[in-house]
Amino acid sequence: MRKPSVVVTARWPLAVEQVLQSEFEVTLNESDRPFTADDMRSALASADALCPTVIDALPAEILGDARGRCRLLANFGVGFNHIDVAHATRLGIAVSNTPGVLTDCTADLALLLMLSIARRAGEGERQVRSSQWRGWRPTHLLGQSLAGKTLGIIGMGRIGQAVAKRAGLGFGMRVLYHSRSVVSVPGVDIERLDLDDLLARADFVSLHCPSNPQTHHLLNSESLGKMKKEAYLINTARGDVVDELALVEALRNGVIAGAGLDVYEKEPQIQAGLIDLENVVLLPHLGSASVETRTAMGMCVVNNLRAFFQGKPLPDPVVVRLTNR
């Protein structure tokens, strides 16, 4: 019996690639070169399943019509805003993702960014590397402590709750949150607020909401202006939740104290101005970047592939409600 054919758009952890090779007729991306639109179209036409990542845009123009061979988009990642899921569904193409397995890793990184920007670790590291450090002195690079501060979380899903737990239990922070759902985190003092109240009261604002039309540029010049001048913005969610032009101006003009970013609007491009600012920490989308987590994500994709080709329900389906048009 012919093995299902699978195209993988990027290098994955070796252990996962070996499993794929043993179970499927797989085409790996040995060079790790980003796929072009034509590469995507070719894979959709020739493979039974395509395994994209967050950088692989699959809008309706690339998905095309129903004449291709591909019947599953097994996404490596939780976010799926790079895929026109509604159009794929109309074409009879199933979509899956990898929820749950990267919660702790991403929450850890959010705390890393909070500590790095508040304690001015990025500035200090740059001074050491450029031989500008003149030695210890009492007023050098004074930052802010996390202990006792107020954290505002926008989006209280798995990752938001994991961040709240770390911040509350680990640093004694008070946690405010803005979310459609009422949640509780055992042992942590949390309060649900509307967005404006959260922005006005938080010392740190951490984004953990999905990317959709309602959250596009949720943090813009108006909302940034509602934050404390001493507050920090942390984004490990999606780049387009923040209006980066407005953020650059806010950081330049002291509207807020600083920002820690792991995601960007037009990755891998960085908004002009961000790199020149000292009061921002910039990471290259490392939220899930641990060996354990990326391997777990890959195996999550494998489980979705197995289920699909065995005629079983997808463990992690991405479902959208279709509207007539």
Q: pLDDT for 267-310, tens place per residue?
A: 999 999 999 999 999 999 999 999 999 999 999 999 999 999 99
**For the residues 47-67, what does the mean pLDDT come to?**
92
List, for residues 214-272, the tens digit of each pLDDT value: 999 999 999 999 999 999 999 999 999 999 999 999 999 999 999 999 999 999 999 99
Q: Are 70 and 130 found together in one domain?
A: no
Q: Are 82 and 159 found together in one domain?
A: no
> Residue 116 falls within a domain, yes or no?
yes
d(CA 9, CA 43): 9
Q: Are 91 and 122 found together in one domain?
A: no
Model pLDDT, residue 320:
81
Look at the chain and report how many structural domains it folds into: 2
Q: Are 168 and 253 found together in one domain?
A: yes
Say which CATH number the domain at 31 has.
3.40.50.720
- Residue range(s) defining the domain that contains residue 80: 5-101+291-309
Residue 1 has pLDDT above 80, yes or no: no
Is there a contact between 261 and 235 (Cβ–Cβ < 8 Å)? yes
Q: Are 121 and 229 found together in one domain?
A: yes
Q: Are 94 and 114 found together in one domain?
A: no
Q: How far is CA 118 from the centre of its chain?
A: 21
Is there a contact between 161 and 190 (Cβ–Cβ < 8 Å)? no
Q: Are 9 and 85 found together in one domain?
A: yes
d(CA 117, CA 134): 21
Query: Among 247, 263, 282, where does a domain finish?
Result: 282
> Residue 241 falls within a domain, yes or no?
yes
Q: Are 203 and 69 found together in one domain?
A: no
Alpha helices, H only, the chain: 14-23, 37-46, 60-63, 85-90, 103-118, 121-129, 158-165, 171, 195-201, 221-224, 244-252, 291-309
Q: Are 84 and 24 found together in one domain?
A: yes
Q: Are 97 and 107 found together in one domain?
A: no
Predicted TM-score (pTM) of the model is 0.92
> Residue 91 falls within a domain, yes or no?
yes
> Residue 22 falls within a domain, yes or no?
yes
> Residue 324 falls within a domain, yes or no?
no
Model pLDDT, residue 325:
47
The 3-state DSSP class for residue 111 equals helix
Q: Are 36 and 77 found together in one domain?
A: yes
Tell me the backbone φ, ψ of residue 44, rounded to 5 degrees. -60, -35
> Residue 325 falls within a domain, yes or no?
no
**Distances, alpha carbon 96 to alpha carbons 61, 75, 297, 317, in Å:** 20, 6, 12, 4
> Which two structure tokens, joined as six digits, stand for 99?
């929820």
pLDDT band at 66 (very low <50, low <70, confident <90, very high): low
Sequence-distant (6+) residues with CB within 8 A of 312 are none
Catalytic positions: 238, 267, 285
> What does the radius of gyration of the chain's CA atoms come to, in whole angstroms?
21
Is there a contact between 229 and 256 (Cβ–Cβ < 8 Å)? yes
Q: Are 93 and 108 found together in one domain?
A: no
Amino acid at 44: L
